[in-house]
Each structure stands twice: as structure tokens, then as C-alpha cells.
Chain A
Amino acid sequence: MKILVAVKRVVDYNVRVRVLADASGVDTKNVKMSMNPFDEIAVEEAVRLKEQGLATEVIAVSCGTSQCQETLRTALALGADRAILVETSADADFELQPLAVAKLLNALVAREQPGLVILGKQAIDDDANQTGQMLAALANMPQATCVSKVELTDGQARVTREIDGGQEVLSMRLPAVLTADLRLNEPRYVTLPNIMKAKKKPLETIKPEDLGVDVAPRLKTLKVVEPAKRKAGVKVTDVAALLNKLKNEAKVI
């Protein structure tokens, strides 16, 4: 069984993003870029399933500009066997949106016939939390989002999901789409020998047209601005002063 894992190149989670003065977006030039953290968990899970003998091949996919090759090399260094880049326009005005990514992934699902597709639950740039569910709909597959545990047996997946107030367990037939939550696993560190090995693994580049997918955005970004800032507060000297402020000034206790 093949596993397809989707990975996204995003602004590193430690970077404080700046909104551009012309309100066209955020500054992504000269900032550190990394693999979306939830996608790293997705890759790790796929590699572990292969190491347990439950999968034969892990294929990493990324959709975006040619720089996403770096992200794919990271996935290969984590243990993916080969990679596919669906290369889209590098034009600064072009925005690749979740529905388009889901369509690209769906076309690759048709080509590769994986038994499982794993994605991160959410990308930390657009915070959309859509792509996995959209892919599941397009491919008519069962879905489990926010997954914290996966068990595979006899063409079925038994999956634990994080839900409001606790967890639920679902049983689904394969192929299925899973999205990874924080507690699914702790990704391994990429080692230097594995980075070297990753350089030799196959990385195929294709275009959306090759897959017959229209990736034109459906949502037009009119402007991007900074959120309203909170007013700076005050420091209090001790607990008594704090409680006095909360009772008499803020009136919240």
C-alpha cells in the first residue's frame, strides 16, 4: 500500500510576520520558511507505518513554487521514498487556494492510487483547515480530521480523533484521508546522513495543466491589514494590588 503525504512550505512558526505597507499581503521575502509543523507530523506517521511494514511506499507531494523542492527534500530526509512537486506560478499575485490544492491532490490520488492520504490538519499561514476534507469529498473517501492515533488492519483504519471535550474512535475503509493533530506523534530529527540520502531520492516536477486542473483562485484578497493592537497594560506589585485592580477598576471579579 502506498501512502501519499501532502506538505506545505510556510513561514516558519517562530517568525513574527509583518503586514506589507500596501496592504497586499504579508512580507515573505527574506524570512525563514519551513515545512508546516502539522505536515511534519503527517510525514512522520506515514514513515512509521512503512517501518511497521503496513505500507510499501511513502510519496510526498507539495503544490507551489519551485522553492517547495526544499520542503520536499525535508520530507525525503524524514523518510519519504519519492516526491512530487506540482509547480504553480511564481507570480506574486497568484494565490494557490485550498480547493485548487485539493483538486491537484485528487488528480494525484487517481494516478498513484494510495491506500491512505495524510495531511496536516491546518497550515499555519492561511489557517484554513480545509484541504484534507476537500480532498476526501472530491475523492469520495472517508475522512478523519485531527487524528491522534491510527491503527491499520485488513483494509480498515481505526482512527482516534480529538474532538470537543475528548476523543472519538472511527472505523473507516481504505483508501481514506487523515489529517494529523499535535499528539499523533513526535517527528524525528532530520540527520545529516539522511539529508545526503534525500538528495539522491527521485523528485518529479509536474504542472497543474499536466493533471488537467484549473488552479485559478476563487477568493480574491482585497486587503491584508494588521489587527487592532491591545493597549499596553500595567504591572502590579503584588497579589493584593492585582485583586484590587480586578475588583475596583476592571470590575471582573
Chain B
Amino acid sequence: MASLVIAEHNHASILGATLPTVTAAAQCAGEVHILVAGHNAGPAAAAAAHIAGVSKVIHADGESLAHGLAENVAQQVLALAGNYSHILFAATPSGKNIAPRVAASLDVAQCSDITKVVSADTFERPVYAGNAITTVQSSDATRVLTVRTTAFGAAASLGGAAAVETVAAVADSGLCSWVTSEIAKSTRPDLSAARTIVSGGRALGSAEHFDAVLTPLADKLGAAIGASRAAVDAGYAANDLQVGQTGKIVAPELYVACGISGAIQHLAGMKDAKVIVAINKDAEAPIFSVADYGLVEDLFVAVPLWVQTA
């Protein structure tokens, strides 16, 4: 049987999180299909057809799918579910929102945040903030999975030539309606996909300092900005910048932790970075135990100096 990947998209294009999910899907079953459920999402469906390794794109288009409401998207997936051995979502806010609704409706368990496909029914996933890796075997006929995108290589976005099949969009559930969204406009790279991340902790002391100190370094490095839970809790940074167990899981080439102590739950979100730099004036901070390069210095001195150094 085939795997079905639920595409992350913005109706116009396919989002990056879809590509590693396709890679995981190909490891689960020989054939990979992809569902693009959206509104006026023809361009996204066309783009999905080019992803290497995808043999069929299923395009459902209608107003009920305009805002990615879990109730409606789950129904759309359920309408197709009978044809698939594996149903995969990226472990993003959207995927995490919808996947369990699908799994429960099918009366199957879900395996969240998989980091490895051991075989068609066996998967690895982190628990306890990544302090343990568990191998689980599913006894269900359909496996519903969310995929930790940093753990799988991205499928090539070009090179495929899948057929696009159109299916009818499901009717609106009538349970829930979208009112409005506020998406912060940013010219920075997306935190989940950034090559470099500059991240700040509680030591920044205020939202003003957080911006004033970290922004110039992020600009210099072309980096995304992240934050520890302590910094988000204290109101220094927006919630969606949170890196950690219950925030974003990132794996950039370079992660620069400024004034972050390194709580277990923060390390869970960034310890797969290729190179970790820690700048902290407390030499005993746990962040130094995972840092490739540690600098024991006041970040208010070190970070501006870095920015000024050519």
C-alpha cells in the first residue's frame, strides 16, 4: 500500500516542512501520494507534483479548506484514508493539530514526532524532552505519524512528475469558523528552516534589550531569531520564537545561544544543531555542556563586539 502525506502549504506554494515528510513517507511504503487540501490551491498542487518521489497529488479545493481548520481537513483526510497504510503529517503546529483527530477517528494510535523509520510498523521518537529515545511498534492497520522534520533529509522539490487528481472538498463541519489571523511580517528566515539562529534567554532582561542586542547580530549573520522559554515567559519575545520541548525543534548549521542557561526543555529544541555557540557570563551554566564553543562573558559586551568585528 501507499503512504499519504498531508502537504503543508499556503495555497500558492508548498512549505518546506512537507519535503522531509515525503522522505519519511517513502521509507514507510513504496509509493507516496500527497494531499493538497486548500482553497484556490492549484499552484500548490502543481508544485507538489514536482516533488521527487511523489507519484500522485490529490487536490481537494474548497472554501471549507481555506483556513486549515482541523475539523474540515481531518474529514478530507478520512475520506481518503482507506487507501493508505501510512498517513504522515509534518510535526508542525498545523500537523500536530490535525493528525490526532484523524487517528482517533480511525481508532488507531498516533506516533508523534518520529525521528526514524525502523520498518513499516516500527518507529523511533524522542520522549522526556529528548532525554530518552523510544522505539515503538504499531499494531494498527493504518499508521498515523507526525514527522520531526529536522530528522529527515528534504525530498527534492523538483524532478518529480506526478499526476494531479482532483477530488471534491468536504463540506464545512459547522463546528468551528475562522475569524482572523495575525501573522507577524518578518524578513528574517523562518526559524524552523534557518541555517543560522541567534537565540536569547532571560539574561536579556527586557523586550527592548532582546531586540536591541540580538537584532544586529541576526542581521549580520542573516539569521533567524529564537528565544528560550524563560524569555518568552517573561514577555521578551513572541511565543512562536520559542525553541524547546514545547516550542520549535530546530537543527541549524549554527546556533548562537546568548544569555541562555540551558534548561532541559530548551536543550531539547536545539541540541541537534551542527555547531552550538554559548555566550553566558555564568561559567557553570548547563548550556556549556552542549556547546561546541563556549564564551564566558557578559552578552551585553560580547554580542555588540561580535557585531562590530568585521
Contact = CB atoms under 8 A, between A and B. Distances in A.
Interface of A: 11, 13, 16-17, 19, 26, 38, 97-99, 102, 121-122, 124-138, 140-146, 148, 158, 162-173, 176, 181-183, 217-227, 230-236, 238-240, 242-243, 245-246, 250, 252-253
B179 A158 contact: yes
B134 A235 contact: no
The 9 closest A-B pairs by CB, nearest first: A134-B104, A133-B100, A218-B109, A142-B175, A142-B176, A233-B292, A130-B100, A137-B104, A169-B179
Contacts of B274: 252
19 contacts: A26-B132, A97-B109, A127-B126, A130-B100, A133-B70, A140-B175, A143-B71, A145-B70, A162-B93, A162-B239, A218-B140, A220-B139, A221-B135, A226-B133, A239-B297, A239-B306, A240-B309, A252-B196, A253-B196
A59 B183 CA distance: 35
Interface in B95-113: 96-105, 107-113
B181 A235 contact: no
B277 A99 contact: no
Contacts of A234: 292-294
Contacts of B69: 170
State the majority secondary structure of interface residues on A.
mixed
Contact of A168 (B180, B184, B232, B295): B180
Nearest to B279: A242
Interface stretch (B30-38, B39-47, B283-291): B283-291
B110 A239 contact: no
A19 B134 CA distance: 10
A25 to B, nearest CB: 8
A99 B175 contact: no
Given A128-B110, A233-B292, A233-B294, 9 more contacts: A11-B128, A13-B265, A17-B128, A167-B181, A169-B180, A172-B176, A233-B293, A235-B296, A250-B293
Contacts of B240: 162-166
Interface residues of B, number: 87
Interface in B110-164: 110-113, 122, 126-140
Contact of A253 (B105, B181, B221, B294): B221
A146 B108 contact: no
Contacts of B232: 182-183
Interface string B77-109: 000000000000000111011111111110111
B87 to A, nearest CB: 14
Contacts of B130: 227
Contacts of A148: 239
Contacts of A17: 128, 131-132
A154 to B, nearest CB: 15
A246 B93 contact: no
A142 B139 CA distance: 29
A88 B265 CA distance: 29
A99 B239 contact: no
A164 B137 contact: no
Nearest to A102: B104
Given A164-B240, A235-B296, A169 B181 contact: yes
Given A16-B264, A166-B182, A222 B137 contact: yes
Nearest to A217: B109
Given A124-B245, A128-B112, A233-B291, A246 B128 contact: no
Contacts of A140: 175
Given A136-B101, A162-B239, A167 B182 contact: yes
B264 A222 contact: no
Given A166-B184, A239-B302, A141 B132 contact: no
B250 interface: no
A148 B183 CA distance: 15
Nearest to A226: B132
B143 to A, nearest CB: 10
B213 interface: no
Interface in B180-216: 180-184, 186, 196
